[in-house]
């Protein structure tokens, strides 16, 4: 077990070093990184100053080591839009993106598990066909388009849900952290919770569209795999009810590969909310990055890319360790 | 002249027969599968739309008539101009723009799938065939690229290089090659253990020959399956990049780009954003239906 954990952690570190290397390569893609880190209004003096301060006049290998050392301290330079460390600005936006991705993930699971199981147990019936057609349609639909249609119908048409933002004006003062929804839930502040929930629904449905469709298909195929196993037949032969057979015996075994896939899906959701955040003016990391792109605020872009890659690696590491805990075959393989 | 019974006389014909019958078999299978056929018809229609845009589009897609802007679908102007899908904010005919936009989408998507397929095929075969540390390095490389938040990576590259067609292709390829690499590596590992490959090695065939003649034909099938399953994904990615304003720039419209521009007018002119999205969805649906069939036909076990 220890060997497995150590090996898996080492692997994560190697991936992180690779991520830093590619970020470094992107920074040097044009051959003049100093120009990238400066606004257009910068003077020749600014240029020379940043060049020597960031060490861009040093040999490339030395620069890489320095870059790596700074990345390890999460130092990606200073945003020249806000004159604050780029990573601080990105971290401030993390709660918004995190809540959006988590709610999207929960919606995806809430759809995928029952629908996928129902599809598998009612294979080749009208239920199965309807579910799989919907999943296929979901996988074919651009989510930014769905987002706009949701706004058109539920916000502009029916006037049920707001079009943008995380909480209503004045409500955010009720929260101490940036996690409005979770804080509202845990502190039992229903005003905060209800307001945040109302605003997260449309963006979360939009962000979770593709995951819902893919996970539904995956739950179905994993269930179909285990439903034909001997132990399922044995469980049925023992006279257990179909509900127990499906929801206990089959689901438990189908669940193991699903944990890995769900972990990957959550990681993808965290890094894949740019489009949704743009559509709903959701003040998360994605929207921040788009704005940084428009302002040529390169330090912020680099910090955002690195932070989300780091989160993806950590989430997957945790999922893999969880997987090993669930399935002893992995540890000793 | 050939001796009677000379294999070279008979073999070419035999081979041709086999090939035509394989194609005919695929064609029959496609005809039997109504959903796949439906997908194929959609795909053929979109390709035709892209190839014959100038003949299909009723108007010049870049012709701006500002005073005829944001008119709803099925409007007939006094000038006799009839706009089936309405006009955009600058009075351009939406239908014509959508027809022309199919070009960028198809060119970018197919090029990106081909480029990433080539990269993934080469790396996958090398990793699977050579094994040991080469394999380990290649697979960590795959992990690294998978870890990047794709859209943000795309934004950061475009921030450095500026948007262009080749940048969009490269950015998409950076994401998609890993899928090929993984599947092809697995197929290579399996092929390497086959008797005929072992036999070729035992007979002293060079490594290059073994890879090209014996391994490669066995990994092409999964690569094709991944390609067809991924064209739809790639079209969605390309549209998303155009929607975000980091896609293919220039005068040629893109579906994602029209949709992105139409976003600002969603409350007054919903059709500008609605129809390009519909075009994307129908196209991707068609591609996915065909992709599912190709997978089921060639090898149902392959998972993307």
- Read off the pLDDT of residues A147-186 as tens digits, 9 standing for 90 and up: 888 888 888 878 777 777 777 777 777 777 777 777 777 7
| Beta carbons within 8 Å of B16's beta carbon, 6+ residues apart | none
**Dihedral sign of CA atoms B266, B272, B274, B276 in order:** negative
pLDDT at residue A25, rounded to an integer: 87
For residues A105-130, give the mean pLDDT.
87
User: In this structure, what token pair is assigned to residue A299?
Assistant: 């330090």
Give the H or E element holding residue A263: helix A251-271
CA–CA gap between residue B141 and residue B88 (Å, rounded): 44
Going along chain A from its start, the domains and CATH numbers come out as 16-72 (no CATH), 98-326 (1.10.3720.10)
**Contact residues, chain B to chain A, C-beta under 8 Å:** 140-141, 143-144, 146-153, 155-161, 232, 236, 239-240, 243-244, 246, 256, 259-260, 263, 266-267, 270, 273-274, 277-278, 280-281, 284-285, 288-289, 292
Instruction: Give the domains, in start order, of chain B with CATH numbers.
Output: 24-303 (1.10.3720.10)
CA dihedral B111, B112, B115, B118 (to 10 degrees): -110
pLDDT level of residue B18 (50, 70, 90 thresholds) = low
- On average, the pLDDT of chain A sits at 82
Contact residues on chain B for A144, CB-CB shorter than 8 A: 239-240, 243, 256, 259-260, 277
**CB–CB of B244 and A11 under 8 A?**
no
User: Would you call A19 and B159 a contact, using CB atoms and an 8 Å cutoff?
Assistant: no
Nearest to B165 by CA among B120, B115, B207: B115
Whether A304 and chain B come into contact, CB under 8 Å, resolves to yes
* Average pLDDT of span B37-59: 87
Is the pLDDT score of B304 beyond 60? Answer: no
Average of per-residue pLDDT values in chain B: 82
Please check the confidence at residue A33 and state whether its pLDDT lies above 80.
Answer: no
Lowest-confidence range among A25-34, A126-135, A139-148? A25-34
User: For residues B26 and A168, which has the higher predicted lDDT (pLDDT)?
Assistant: B26
Residue A36 forms contact with B (CB below 8 Å): yes
Quote ipTM for the complex: 0.85
Any bridge partners for residue A84, and if so which? A79
Which helix (H) or strand (E) element contains residue A79?
Answer: strand A78-79
What is the distance in angstroms between the Cα of B273 and the nearest Cα belonging to chain A? 8
Where does B55-97 show beta strands of DSSP type E?
75-76, 82-83
Quick check: B288 and A136 CB within 8 A? yes
Cβ-based contacts of B157 with chain A (< 8 Å): 26, 29
pLDDT band with cut points at 50, 70 and 90 for residue B5:
very low
Specify whether the CB–CB gap between A181 and A284 falls below 8 A. no
**pLDDT exceeding 90 applies to what percent of chain A?**
7
pLDDT tier, A331 (very low <50, low <70, confident <90, very high otherwise): low
With beta carbons less than 8 A apart as the criterion, state whether A287 and B155 touch: no
pLDDT of residue B263: 85
Instruction: Report pLDDT digits (tens) over B253-289.
Output: 889 888 988 888 888 888 888 999 999 999 999 998 8
The better pLDDT of the pair A15, B214 is held by A15
Instruction: Tell me the HSE value of A258 on the side-chain side, using a 13 A CA sphere.
Output: 26
pTM of the entire predicted model: 0.85
CA A234 → CA A224, A231, A252, A304, distances in Å? Answer: 16, 5, 15, 52
Confidence of residue B119 (pLDDT cuts 50, 70, 90): very high
pLDDT at B2: 47
pLDDT in tens, A304-323: 988 988 988 888 888 888 77
For residue A141, is pLDDT > 60?
A: yes
**Rounded Cα distance, B120 and B238, in Å:** 19
Residue A308 forms contact with B (CB below 8 Å): yes
For residue B9, pLDDT beyond 70 = no
- Say what the pLDDT of residue B154 is: 86
Residue A20 has pLDDT above 60, yes or no: yes
- In whole angstroms, what is the distance from residue A119 CA to residue A113 CA? 10
Chain B nearest CA to A172, separation (Å): 27
CA gap A74, A318 in Å, rounded: 21
Q: Is the minimum CB–CB distance between A159 and chain B shorter than 8 Å?
A: no
B189-240 pLDDT, tens per residue?
Answer: 888 878 888 888 888 777 788 888 878 888 888 888 888 888 888 999 889 9
Q: What angle, rounded to 10 degrees, do the helices at B255-262 and A143-150 form?
A: 20
A149 at the B interface (CB within 8 A)?
A: yes
Q: What tens digit of pLDDT does each residue of A177-222 get?
A: 777 777 777 777 777 777 777 788 889 988 888 888 888 888 888 8
Percent of chain B with pLDDT over 90: 12
How high is the pLDDT of residue B282?
94
- Identify all chain A residues contacting B161, using CB atoms and an 8 Å cutoff: 29-30
């Amino acid at each position: 077990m220890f060997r497995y954990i150590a090996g898996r952690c080492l692997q994560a570190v190697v991936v992180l070093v690779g991520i830093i290397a590619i970020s470094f390569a992107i920074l040097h893609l044009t051959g003049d990184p100093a120009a990238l880190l400066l606004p257009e209004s910068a003077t020749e003096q600014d240029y020379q100053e940043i060049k020597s301060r960031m060490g861009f006049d040093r040999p490339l290998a030395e620069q890489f080591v320095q870059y790596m050392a700074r990345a390890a301290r999460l130092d990606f330079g200073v945003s020249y839009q806000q004159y604050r460390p780029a990573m601080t600005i990105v971290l401030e936006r993390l709660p918004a993106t995190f809540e959006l991705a988590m709610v999207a993930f929960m919606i995806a699971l809430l759809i995928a598990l029952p629908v996928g199981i129902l599809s598998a147990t009612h294979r080749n019936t009208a239920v199965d066909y309807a579910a799989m057609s919907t999943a296929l349609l979901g996988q074919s639909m651009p989510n930014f388009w769905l987002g706009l249609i949701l706004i058109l119908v539920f916000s502009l048409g029916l006037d049920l849900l707001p079009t943008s933002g995380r909480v209503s004006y004045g409500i955010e003062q009720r929260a101490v952290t940036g996690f409005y929804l979770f804080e509202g839930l845990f502190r039992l502040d229903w005003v905060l919770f209800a307001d945040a929930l109302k605003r997260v629904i449309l963006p979360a449905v939009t962000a979770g569209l593709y995951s819902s469709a893919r996970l539904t298909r995956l739950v179905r195929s994993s269930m179909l795999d285990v439903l034909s196993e001997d132990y399922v037949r044995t469980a049925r032969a023992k006279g257990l009810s179909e509900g127990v057979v499906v929801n206990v015996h089959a689901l438990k075994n189908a669940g193991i590969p699903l944990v890995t896939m769900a972990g990957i899906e959550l990681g993808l959701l965290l890094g894949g909310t740019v489009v949704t955040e743009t559509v709903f003016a959701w003040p998360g990391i994605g929207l921040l990055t788009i704005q940084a792109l428009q302002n040529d605020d390169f330090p912020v872009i680099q910090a955002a890319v690195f932070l989300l890659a780091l989160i993806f690696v950590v989430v997957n590491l945790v999922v893999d360790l969880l997987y090993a805990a669930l399935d002893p075959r992995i540890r000793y393989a | 002249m050939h001796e009677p019974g000379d294999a070279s006389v008979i073999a070419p014909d035999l081979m041709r027969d086999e090939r035509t019958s394989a194609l005919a078999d695929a064609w029959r299978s496609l005809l039997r599968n109504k959903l796949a056929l439906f997908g194929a018809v959609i795909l053929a229609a979109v390709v035709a739309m892209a190839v014959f845009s100038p003949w299909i589009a009723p108007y010049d897609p870049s012709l701006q008539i500002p005073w005829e802007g944001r008119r709803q679908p099925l409007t007939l102007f006094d000038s006799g101009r009839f706009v089936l899908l309405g006009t955009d904010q600058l009075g351009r005919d939406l239908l014509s723009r959508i027809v022309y936009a199919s070009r960028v989408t198809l060119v970018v998507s197919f090029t990106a799938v081909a480029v990433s397929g080539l990269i993934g095929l080469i790396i996958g075969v090398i990793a699977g065939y050579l094994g040991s540390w080469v394999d380990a390095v290649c697979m960590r490389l795959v992990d690294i690229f998978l870890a990047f938040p794709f859209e943000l990576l795309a934004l950061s590259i475009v921030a450095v290089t500026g948007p262009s067609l080749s940048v969009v292709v490269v950015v998409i390829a950076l994401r998609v090659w890993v899928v090929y690499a993984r599947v092809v590596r697995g197929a290579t590992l399996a092929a390497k253990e086959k008797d005929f490959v072992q036999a070729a090695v035992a007979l002293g065939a060079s490594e290059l020959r073994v890879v090209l003649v014996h391994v490669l034909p066995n990994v092409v099938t999964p690569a094709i399956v991944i390609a067809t399953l991924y064209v739809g994904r790639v079209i969605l990615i390309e549209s998303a990049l155009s929607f975000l304003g980091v896609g293919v720039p220039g005068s040629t419209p893109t579906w994602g780009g029209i949709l992105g521009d139409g976003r600002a007018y969603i409350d007054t002119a919903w059709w500008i954003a609605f129809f390009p999205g519909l075009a994307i969805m129908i196209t991707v649906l068609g591609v996915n239906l065909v992709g599912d069939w190709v997978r089921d036909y060639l090898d149902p076990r392959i998972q993307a």
